[in-house]
């Protein structure tokens, strides 16, 4: 049920909640550093009326975002997030190959901790921040990683990976390497024109893939999955063909 614009598609909606799949590069709510940037909540309110934010994902991350449509649903969902009862799964494409299959990171983080408004690890000033990582598989110079954040700090997944010497592909804040993913660099017999080639992926390769929570009105456990956007899907397709590793072959 995609709507006409390219900023988001609707995964689910009822009288209490809406679940959207957003594009990379759009804010989900007001941002004090970037007051004029396009905002998902304002765009979606044109379609759904008043919305209440209950959680955040980074501007550069694509994927699942949930809004409440009533004050009651807002209160219920906010409590679920605060009490860590919501299960979130992200997929990331990183440079390099982790030496682990599973990694539990418990590292306090301080948002807005430096001049570039980055989140920094800080035992002294940081808030408790926990992420579980799982290596899905390696593909040439890259690896697909599943991340399950148990807390919701700004840039948490990105910083927890960076603290373990891994950076997400095309991360403008936490990676020194801004090289986009190009088919010519991963496919042995590539015979296109290198000057005409368009990168498969040239933005932060982090996608909010799945979320599971309790519906605020019915009390049922509900689970939603967001398809990869075109650029990430094209990358997944090619890497899967060449290296036989697919992050969403359930």
Residues with a catalytic annotation lie at 58
| Alpha helix (H) residue ranges in 31-134 | 40-48, 71-82
- On whether the CB atoms of residues 245 and 139 are closer than 8 A, the answer is yes
Residue (of 8, 30, 31, 37) closest to 20 by Cα position = 8
Burial 74-113 (b: 16+ CB within 10 A, else e): bebbbebbeeeebebbbbbbbbeebeeeebebebbbbbeb
Query: For residue 230, which phi and psi values (nearest 5 degrees)?
Result: -55, -45
């Amino acid at each position: 049920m995609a709507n006409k614009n390219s900023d988001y598609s609707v995964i689910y909606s009822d009288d209490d909640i809406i679940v959207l799949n957003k594009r990379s590069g759009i804010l989900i709510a007001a941002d004090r550093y970037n007051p004029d940037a396009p905002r998902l909540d304002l765009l979606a309110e044109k379609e759904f009326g008043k919305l209440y934010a209950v959680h955040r994902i980074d501007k550069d991350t694509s994927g699942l975002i949930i809004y409440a449509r009533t004050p009651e649903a807002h209160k219920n969902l906010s409590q679920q997030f605060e009490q860590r009862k919501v299960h979130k799964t992200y997929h990331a494409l990183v440079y390099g190959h982790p030496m682990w299959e599973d990694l539990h990171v418990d590292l306090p983080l301080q948002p807005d901790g430096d001049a570039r408004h980055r989140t920094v690890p800080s035992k002294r000033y940081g808030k408790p921040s926990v992420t579980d990582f799982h290596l899905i598989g390696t593909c040439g110079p890259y690896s697909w990683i599943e991340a399950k954040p148990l807390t919701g700090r700004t840039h948490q997944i990105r910083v927890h990976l960076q603290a373990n010497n891994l950076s997400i592909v095309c991360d403008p804040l936490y990676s020194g390497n801004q090289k986009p993913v190009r088919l010519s660099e991963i496919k042995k017999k590539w015979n296109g024109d290198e000057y005409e080639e368009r990168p498969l992926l040239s933005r932060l390769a982090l996608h909010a893939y799945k979320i599971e929570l309790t519906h605020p009105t019915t009390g049922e456990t509900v689970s939603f999955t967001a398809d990869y956007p075109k650029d990430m899907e094209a990358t997944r397709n090619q890497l899967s063909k060449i290296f036989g590793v697919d992050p969403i072959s359930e």
